[in-house]
């Protein structure tokens, strides 16, 4: 079930502490391993292959019906496979998700019906999946660590491919089947267990899979109810579903009820009988609503789950009947609720985040200088003249662009309207120490404030240090001597594959157009830009 749709929320407002459960390094070897000299890795692999078997001559198609639980919620999952193509549809209460691969292109559809193709930002997962399937290749980094007596007697193989995760695979000492797998992802130890193995088309596969990251209410569980093998699969069952249009506009171009306070984009919507302020947050992969607001406006919540961005918090899925911006409306919008709220320096309450599902519904034009926000019907949008045009990738529902720090190129910088300042993540900083070296201002700040700096975000804080780099280059725009916050040891916040965040300090110097449907971002320099840097 790895690679399935996992709702994430990358909110750059948030930031820090290691979660309480993370007492051990998530990449540390399992406890209780005893050395073993009676068997080799090659022998284990050979016996594992024998145990799994080989597919018979029937067509490589499968149709599977699963029951599924996610924390406190339960639902169903249907999988169609034909060769390398597959489609997986999951239903949890009123929510429906899907993902798949067709013709070599992977895609996802979220619970608001928005479909997007994936560019491969998270290729580490693929790297590990390949390594696990090819343990005898040197590139897998596989190493037999020994054997354990529990949870079942098993041989433990460490898998550590370059550019991948550290992973521990447990092969049952009696059956040689893979019965448990532990992987260190984003600062968490994710554990999959497999049992109830059954044979179909010559291959033994588990009919029961359990996933746990150790956090309350985050366990997932799959039980296979039926499997049809070797029968033709209707191509329509593998098709990529059309993307829905979750936002209705009253005209081809509308001015949203918005204001920009201290570079934060605040949208005011009517929910039930109340006005609610949302932060338009491109760093959020969905819509987040304050739990108290949800309860008070009668928004129905479903289940509970534990999430970590800057810190750990409990969230629920929710269905908001109507989010009404007057000129733009979302109906039956899938969202999350969490104990998130904040107040701006002028006392404006913000009770939610308006992220991907809203931004993707139209082209959003943010005029930072004049404090206005427009929504433009994608069909009537013409890219502005003189704009810096940047392709974006939306694998996680957040816009990712390429940028250069000094002379170091990074392909995965998150454009985040919710982040006060731009950030460089620790992995990028470690990989490019020369380009992420301070040009003076960071040292001057440290000289007068030699303390650990934090930035606030959803659920907690993230530790940072100020570093002024020689230049930040986005497309053809080069911004000299840029001050970044460099995050320190915040794996859950950073994620595994991002290089950093482009925040409001950059964006406020432009008219910004988010065109998610064409996967483009346009930056038009404004007067602020011209006054500072000419042009």
Partner 1 sequence: MKRVFFALALSAALASPALAASNDKLDAPPPGITPTTATLAQVLKAYDAAKGHLAPGAADTRQEAWTFTKAGMAGTETLVRSGLDYYSRIVRGPFVDEYGQFFGHGWHRGPNGVVSPVSSPQYTSFEMLLFMRNLDDAADPKNDVTVLGEVQTPKPAYVLQIKPSGGKHPEFAFYDKQTGLIDRFDFVVDDTRTTTMYDDYRTTDGLTAPWHVHFTDGTAPLDYDFVRTSLTIGKSIDAKQFAIPSSTFGFVYYNGEQSLPVNIYTDSWMLNIGSNRYHMVHSPTVIVRLNVGGRGLDFALSAAQPRSLIDFEVAQELHLSSYGQVIHANGSDVSYDTVIPQADWGSQLLLRNWAVRATPFHYHLKEGTKIVGVIGYDVLSSGVFKTDYDNARMSVFPPSAFDTPAPEVKNAATIPISIDSGLPFFTGFVANHETPNILFDNAFELSLIFGDFTSEYPDAVKDAVTGQTHAVTMIPFADSTGYGKDVHVWLGQVPDLNFGPAHFMNFPILASNATIDFGPHDVDAVMGGDLLKYYDVYLDYPHNRIFLRPNNTFFRVFQFEPQK
| Residues in touch with partner 1 (CB under 8 A) | 261-263, 268, 274-277, 290, 292-293, 296, 339, 341, 343-351, 420-421, 437, 439-441, 443-452, 479, 481-483, 504-506, 508-509, 528, 531-534
CB of 295 to partner 1, least distance (A): 8
Closer of 229 and 354 to partner 1 (Cβ) = 354
The torsion defined by the Cα of 181, 133, 65 and 74, in degrees rounded to 10, comes to 30
Closer of 205 and 277 to partner 1 (Cβ) = 277
Closer of 17 and 148 to partner 1 (Cβ) = 17
Contacts (Cβ under 8 Å, ≥6 apart) of 162: 127, 139, 141
CB of 390 to partner 1, least distance (A): 19
CB of 407 to partner 1, least distance (A): 15
User: DSSP labels for 172-186?
Assistant: ETTT--EEEEEEEET
Closer of 54 and 447 to partner 1 (Cβ) = 447
CB of 346 to partner 1, least distance (A): 5
Q: Which residue has the tokens 């004049």?
A: 370
CB of 404 to partner 1, least distance (A): 17
Closer of 162 and 531 to partner 1 (Cβ) = 531
Please give, one letter per residue, the 3-state secondary structure of 378-433: HHHCCCCCCCEEEECECCCCCCEEEEEECCEEEEEEEECCCCCCCEECHHHHHHCC
CB of 341 to partner 1, least distance (A): 4
Closer of 232 and 440 to partner 1 (Cβ) = 440
Which 3 state secondary structure label does DSSP give 491?
Answer: helix
Closer of 115 and 439 to partner 1 (Cβ) = 439
* 240-273 core/surface letters (b: 16 or more CB in 10 A; e: else): beebebbbebeeeebbbbbbbeebbbbbebbbee
Closer of 60 and 300 to partner 1 (Cβ) = 300
Give the whole-angstrom CA distance, residue 282 versus residue 514.
9
List, in sequence order, the alpha helices (H) in 415-534. Answer: 426-431, 441-448, 491-494, 504-507, 527-533
Give the whole-angstrom CA distance, residue 520 versus residue 99.
22
| DSSP assignment letter at 517 | G
Strands 372-376 and 363-367: antiparallel
CB of 525 to partner 1, least distance (A): 12
CB of 246 to partner 1, least distance (A): 22
């Amino acid at each position: 079930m790895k690679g399935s749709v996992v709702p994430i929320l990358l909110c750059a407002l948030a930031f820090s502490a290691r979660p309480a459960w993370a007492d051990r390094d998530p990449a540390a070897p399992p406890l209780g391993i005893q050395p073993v000299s009676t068997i080799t890795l090659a022998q284990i692999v050979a016996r594992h292959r024998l145990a799994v078997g080989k597919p018979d001559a029937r067509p490589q198609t499968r149709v599977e019906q699963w029951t599924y639980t996610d924390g406190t919620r339960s639902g169903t999952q249907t999988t169609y496979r034909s060769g390398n193509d597959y489609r997986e549809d999951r239903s949890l209460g009123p929510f429906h998700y899907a993902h798949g691969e067709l013709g070599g292109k992977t895609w996802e559809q979220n619970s608001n019906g928005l479909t997007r193709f994936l560019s491969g930002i998270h290729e580490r997962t693929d790297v590990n999946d390949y390594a696990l399937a090819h343990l005898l290749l040197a590139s897998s980094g596989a190493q037999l660590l020994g054997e354990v007596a529990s949870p079942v007697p098993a041989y433990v193989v460490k898998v550590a491919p370059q550019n991948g995760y550290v992973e521990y695979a447990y092969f049952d000492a009696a059956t040689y089947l893979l019965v448990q797998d532990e992987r260190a992802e984003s600062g968490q130890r994710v554990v999959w267990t497999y049992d109830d193995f059954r044979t179909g088309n010559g291959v033994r596969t588990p009919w029961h899979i359990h996933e746990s990251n150790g956090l309350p209410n985050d366990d997932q569980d799959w039980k296979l109810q039926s499997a049809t093998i070797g029968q033709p699969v209707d191509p329509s069952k593998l098709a990529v579903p059309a993307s829905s249009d979750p936002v209705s506009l009253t005209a081809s171009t509308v001015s949203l009820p918005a204001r920009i306070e201290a570079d934060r984009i605040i949208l005011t919507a009517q929910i039930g009988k109340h006005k609610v302020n949302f932060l338009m947050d491109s760093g959020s992969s969905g819509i987040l609503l304050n739990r108290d607001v949800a309860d008070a406006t009668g928004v129905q919540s479903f289940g509970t789950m534990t999430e970590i961005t800057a810190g750990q918090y409990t969230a629920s899925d929710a269905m908001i009947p109507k989010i009404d911006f007057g000129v733009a409306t979302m109906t039956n919008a899938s969202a999350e609720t969490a104990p998130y709220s904040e107040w701006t320096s002028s006392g404006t309450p913000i009770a939610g985040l308006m992220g991907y599902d809203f931004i993707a519904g139209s082209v959003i034009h943010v005029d930072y200088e004049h404090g206005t926000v427009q929504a433009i019907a994608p069909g009537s949008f013409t890219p502005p003249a003189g704009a810096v045009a940047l392709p974006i990738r939306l694998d996680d529902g957040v816009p990712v662009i390429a940028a250069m720090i000094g002379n170091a190129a990074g392909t995965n910088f998150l454009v985040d309207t919710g982040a006060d300042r731009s950030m460089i993540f620790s992995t990028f900083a470690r990989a490019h120490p020369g380009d992420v070296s301070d040009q003076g201002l960071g040292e001057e700040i440290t000289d007068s404030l030699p303390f650990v700096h934090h930035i606030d975000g959803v659920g907690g804080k993230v530790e940072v240090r100020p570093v002024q780099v020689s230049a930040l280059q986005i497309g053809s725009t080069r911004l000299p001597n840029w001050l970044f916050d460099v995050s320190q040891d915040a794996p859950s916040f950073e994620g595994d594959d991002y290089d950093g965040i482009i925040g409001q300090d950059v964006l406020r110097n432009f008219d910004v157009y988010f065109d998610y449907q064409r996967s483009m971002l346009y930056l038009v320099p404004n007067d602020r830009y011209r006054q500072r840097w000419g042009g």
